[in-house]
Amino acid sequence: MIEKQHIIDRFKSYVTIDTESDPNSDTTPSTEKQWDLANKLAEELKEIGMEDVSIDENAYIMATLPSNVPHDVPVIGFVSHFDTSPDFTGANVKPQIIENYDGKDIVLNKEQDIVLSPDYFEDLLLYKGQTLITTDGTTLLGADDKAGITEIVSAMEYLINHPEIKHGKIRVGFTPDEEIGRGAHKFDVEKFGAEWAYTMDGSQVGELEYENFNAAGAVVTIKGKIVHPGYAKGKMVNSMYIATDFINSLPRLETPEHTEGREGFFHLHNIKGSVDETQLQYIIRDHDRGHFEARKEMIQKLADDLNEQFETEAVSVEIKDQYFNMREKVEPVMHIVNIAEEAMLQANIKPLIKPIRGGTDGSQLSFMGLPCPNIFAGGHNFHGRYEYVPVESMIKAVEVIVNIAKITAEDLTKFKTEAK
C-alpha cells in the first residue's frame, strides 16, 4: 500500500494551506484563500495521471480514473471537501508528528500549557504505537477533511501505479464550503456522472455512516429601545433581557453537551447584543424528521409567545433548512453500504455503522440524486486545537478506497441480494 512518509508529506502540504470558510460570505468559495488549495489539487491530479481534470468558476474540482476492465461496471465516485471550519483558526497550521505514540500526555504547546491527554480524550489509547499528527495547540489541524483528500488522491495514485488491479470508471470530486453547509450547493451531479459515491469525511477508523442529522439554522433577532438610562423608566426596552428569556426557555438538556446518538439538540453558537438589538444564532439538529420539524416550530412559538408577553413585535425568527437525513435515499440502494462494509472487512477493519452527529456533502448529494454514504477519514476532535489523525488510519482509508474499486468491478449480485 501507499508508503507512510508519502502520506505524511501529502497531508502536511494540504493542511499548511489556510482554507477556512466564511458563513457570512455570499461568494463561492466563501473565501478567496480556498483557491490556493483548489488550484494545487487540480494540478496534482493531473500530475499523478488522472484524466478529465476540471476546476470550475466556483472551485469545484472533478477528475476521472478510466476503467481498465472490458465489461460494463457502475461508475462510482469519491468526494471530500477542502475548506476548514470557521469555528477555530486554520491559519499558520504547524503539524507535529508523534512517532510510536506511548499512550501518555502529548504536550502540544509548552509555552501555553496546552496538552492533548488520554485522560480526557480516551480515543487516543486506541492508537498506542502508531504515528499521530497533531496541532501545535494554536490552530485546528484540518484533517476534516484534508485527510479525506489525502486518501482519495493517494488511492487514485496507487491504482494508476498498479494497473493490475481491476476497477471500473472512478470519479473524484473536491468541494469548497462544506463546513458552512454549502459544499454541495453547486456540485454538478450530472457532470460528475457517477451511479453512487462515498464521502471520505468520517472520524474514527472503521466508521461507516448512511444516516445524518436533519439540519437547519435559525437567526433570532430581538429589537429593543435605547434611551438615556437616567430617564429610562417606562421607555427603555433592553433586547438582551428578552434574549435571555428566549435562551432560558429552550430545553436546557437538549444541547450538544448533553446529547448523543440519535438525540437532537438546539445549539446557540453566536450572540451579538446591545440594548437596542440582540441577535442569536442557533443550529437545530435531529435525526428524526418529525422531531426536527417540531424543533423548528418550538423556536417560532417561543418568539410568538415572547411577543405576546411583551405586547410587541420585538422578536423575529428566520429559519433555513440546511440538509436532511440521507438514510431515506441510501436505504433503497443499500448494496452500496454493503460494498463499503466488505471493503473494510477485507482490510481487517471492523465496520462501525452508526449515525453521523453532523452532516457531510453526501447528505445533500444523496437528495440531489447521488446516493453517498460516508466513510472514515481517521481524524479526531475536529474543529479545534486538540484535533489529531493517526497516519495508520489514513493508510487504512486508502486501502478501503482501493478495495471498493476492486469490488465494484466484480459481480455485485451478492451485495444487492444481501441489501437490507
136 is in an annotated binding site: no
Q: Print burial letters for 199-212: b (CB count within 10 Å at least 16), e (below 16).
A: bbbbbbbbbbbbbb
Instruction: Round to whole Å and give the CA distance between 252 and 235.
Output: 32
Closest residue by Cα to residue 178 from 359, 305, 366, 415: 359
Strand runs labelled E in 277-314: 277-286
Closest residue by Cα to residue 351 from 338, 334, 332: 338
Which helix (H) or strand (E) is 109 found in, with range? strand 106-109
* Contacts of residue 253, Cβ cutoff 8 Å, sequence gap at least 6: 259
- Residue 178 is among the residues annotated as catalytic for this protein: yes
383 is in an annotated binding site: yes
* Contacts of residue 112, Cβ cutoff 8 Å, sequence gap at least 6: 137, 138
User: End-to-end CA distance of the chain, in Å?
Assistant: 32
- Residue 113 is among the residues annotated as catalytic for this protein: no
Confirm if 223 and 314 have CB atoms less than 8 A apart: yes
What is the CB neighbour count within 10 angstroms for residue 297? 11
Which of 22, 44, 83, 157 is flagged as catalytic? 83
179 is in an annotated binding site: yes
Sheet holding 388-390, edge to edge: 96-98, 132-134, 388-390
Q: Print burial letters for 157-195: b (CB count within 10 Å at least 16), e (below 16).
A: bbbeeeeeebbbbbbbbbbbbbbbbbbbbbbebeebebb
Task: For cell 470550475, name the residue.
Answer: 56
Q: Is the peptide bond before 145 cis (omega within 30 degrees of 0)?
A: yes
Which of 178, 211, 342, 361 is flagged as catalytic? 178
* Binding site members for Zn(2+): 81, 144, 179, 201, 383
Any idea which residues carry the catalytic annotation? 83, 178
* Binding site members: 81, 144, 179, 201, 383
